[in-house]
Amino acid sequence: MRQAGRSLPEYRALRAKGSILDAISSPEIAAELTMQPVRRYGVDAAILFSDIVVPLVAIGVDIEILPGRGPVLAAPFRHDDDLSRLRPIEPEVDLAHVLDTITILASELDVPLIGFAGAPFTLASYLVEGGSSRTFGLTKSLMHSEPATWHALVDRLAAICLASLRAQVKAGASAIQLFDSWAGTLSPSDYAEFALPASTFILEGLADLHVPRIHFGVGTGELLGLMARAGADVVGVDWRVPLPLAAARVGPDVALQGNLDPAVCLAPTRVVREAAGKVMNEAAGLSGHIFNLGHGVLPETDPDTLKAVVDLVHATSAARDTE
Ligand code: 1CP
């Protein structure tokens, strides 16, 4: 999850004052930032240190990532003629720094590396709003008033994401995650019409590479059934939906990832361990489950609490394996 490392002193020391995009563009630094949480917590997989906007920056879109705010565009996308700002990506050239980071990690890590991309809906929301949004008013207005422009926009983004993900797998990523963080703002019918087809194009376009595909969103309780049909092997769930209910919604062929509330991780360790234990209990009867938080780690989280959660999850699953 995003910001796993940000609560760590070793992360802050290495990032120092530089911009996150500078850190991502240095393969040695990005590889080290990827490995820090793995070393500290002993988690079972690493998530590449990058960001969902990196492929867009790589093709020349003017995006900055500002501290405390996230991605910001000087000139948001509002019209048909903005589409020409999204040229096709050539991963070997445009994302050479990211692929070099993956090459380093593939030889250094002893756990699987998860590569990732932002889903077209979530990326389009940053492009259209010019940054984060609470209402997604401009995004929804564009999709409903100019559907042809909207579909052209998400189709271009889908081609960029698929090319980026295929290149990440070829460079050594052994699983991928598609982050549709803000899809939960859509009604099921709008999700089915305006977001799902582009995400399906990406997830199905990876099928021949035979790597596990995780499809993630937040606040997507009412969308889980649709998300499960996009072609992923695993669907992420946040804390708003109990895992057994989520399992019924995604069906027997799709595993779940989740769903500890990151805000609960600010409570005393004893309380957090109990909450994590509850997630493990709810997951016990499921056909497949990846323990995770329902969304990113909050920066003020105590690293020792997260370590206690990882240890509890490992002890619980080891005890189950010997049953
Ligand atoms: O080590 C890690 O944190 C993992 C690498 C990672 C990942 C997987 C980063 C680095 N970003 C992401 C994905 C990402 N980026 C998502 C999808 C997952 C999620 O929902 O958390 C999203 C929505 C973004 C966009 C973004 N980038 C935001 C959110 C802004 C908003 O709208 O609320 C923010 C704050 C960023 C900046 C960013 N990217 C990554 C980090 C560690 C940070 C924090 C800033 C920093 O420490 O400098």
* Residue to substitute in 1, 2, 34, 57 for testing ligand 1 pocket (most ligand atoms within 8 angstroms of CB): 2
C-alpha neighbours within 13 Å on the C-beta side of residue 88: 5
Q: Whose CA is nearest to atom 41 of ligand 1?
A: 3
* 156-174 residue pLDDT tens: 999 999 999 999 999 999 9
Confidence at residue 120, expressed as pLDDT on a 0 to 100 scale: 99
AA identity, residue 209: L
Label residue 3 by pLDDT band (50, 70, 90): confident
* Residue to substitute in 36, 51, 126 for testing ligand 1 pocket (most ligand atoms within 8 angstroms of CB): 51
**Would you call the peptide bond into 259 cis, given omega within 30 degrees of 0 as the criterion?**
yes
Q: Is the pLDDT of residue 15 over 80?
A: yes
Q: Is the pLDDT of residue 232 over 80?
A: yes
Contact indicator for 216, 238 with CB cutoff of 8 Å: no
Active site residues: 2, 6, 15, 51, 126
Confidence at residue 40, expressed as pLDDT on a 0 to 100 scale: 94
Confidence at residue 16, expressed as pLDDT on a 0 to 100 scale: 77
Across residues 234-246, what is the average pLDDT?
98
Closest atom of ligand 1 relative to the 126 alpha carbon: 32
Closest atom of ligand 1 relative to the 177 alpha carbon: 8
Confidence at residue 293, expressed as pLDDT on a 0 to 100 scale: 97
Q: Which CATH architecture is the domain 9-236 placed in?
A: Alpha-Beta Barrel (3.20)
308: helix, coil or strand?
helix
| Tokens representing residue 282 in the block | 């709810």
Helix (H) or strand (E) holding 180: strand 175-180
Q: Which residue has the tokens 């990151």?
A: 262
* 19-63 residue pLDDT tens: 999 999 999 999 999 999 999 999 999 999 999 999 999 999 999
* 108-159 residue pLDDT tens: 999 999 999 999 999 999 999 999 999 999 999 999 999 999 999 999 999 9
Q: Is the pLDDT of residue 311 over 80?
A: yes
Boundaries of CATH 3.20.20.210 in the chain?
A: 9-236
Q: Is the pLDDT of residue 17 over 90?
A: no
Distance CA 301, CA 278 (A): 20
Confidence at residue 184, expressed as pLDDT on a 0 to 100 scale: 98
Contact indicator for 257, 216 with CB cutoff of 8 Å: yes
The CA 252 to ligand 1 mean position distance, Å, reads: 31
Confidence at residue 194, expressed as pLDDT on a 0 to 100 scale: 98
181 CB under 6 A from ligand 1? yes
| Tokens representing residue 163 in the block | 């090319």
Cβ neighbour number for residue 197 with a 10 Å cutoff: 15
